[in-house]
Structure 1
Amino acid sequence: MRLLLLFPLLLLSQLGFAQFSSFEAGYYVLVDNHSTRYPAEIKLRDENTLLVRGENTKKEKLDLQDVLFFQVANRRFVPVGGFFISKGLGGTEVARGFAQLLDSGQVKLYEYKYYLTNPPVGNTMSVGSSYWQTLYLLQRPNDEEPTPVEANRLSGAGKYFRQTLAPFISSRPDLQKLLADRKITLDNLVPFIRALNSGQPFTGSLPQPPTREPY
Structure 2
Amino acid sequence: MAASMASTSLSARQGYAPARVAARAGAKPVSAARAPLRVVAGESRIGKHAVPVPKGVTYTLKDNLLAVKGPKGELEFQFPDLMVMTEEDGAIRLSKADESKKAREGHGLYRTLCNNMMVGVSDGFEKKLKLVGVGYKAAMQGKDLNLSLGYAHQVILEVPQGLKVECPSNTEIVVSGYDKVEVGNFAAIIRSKRKPEPYKGKGVRYADEVVLIKEGKRK
| Pairwise TM-score range, normalised by the shorter structure | under 0.3
Higher strand share: 1
Higher relative contact order (CA closer than 8 Å, sequence separation 6+) = 1
TM-score after normalising by structure 1: 0.24
The structure having more radius of gyration, on CA atoms, is 2
Q: TM-score, normalised by structure 2?
A: 0.24
